[in-house]
Amino acid sequence: MPRTTSEYPQLFTKSVTLKDAQVGDLILFTGTNPNVQKPGYAGIISKINNDSITLVRSSSSKSTSA
């Protein structure tokens, strides 16, 4: 896996809608700037319950918590 999420899209040839997402899928999010359409962070879907998705989110390398 690349070190940064902005490099993730080049690894994959398939994407699915949230409706078709499954536990274990990698989910990518863009940042808050609507003009920049590259991933800002990622997570792995850990649970799906009706219309609610729970994920384990990646953290920034800038995090200082231990």
**What pLDDT was estimated at residue 61?**
58
Query: Could you tell me the sign of the dihedral formed by the alpha carbons of 38, 6, 49, 22, in that order?
Result: positive
Within 10 A of 58 (CB to CB), how many other CB atoms are there? 14
- Looking at the DSSP bridge assignments, the partners of residue 47 are 54
**What distance in Å separates the CA atoms of residue 20 and residue 2, rounded to the nearest whole number?**
25
- Distance of alpha carbon 43 from alpha carbon 8, whole angstroms: 12
Tens of pLDDT, residues 1-53: 777 888 888 887 788 888 888 999 988 888 778 888 888 788 899 999 988 89
Q: Does residue 66 carry a pLDDT above 50?
A: no
29 vs 63: which has the higher pLDDT: 29
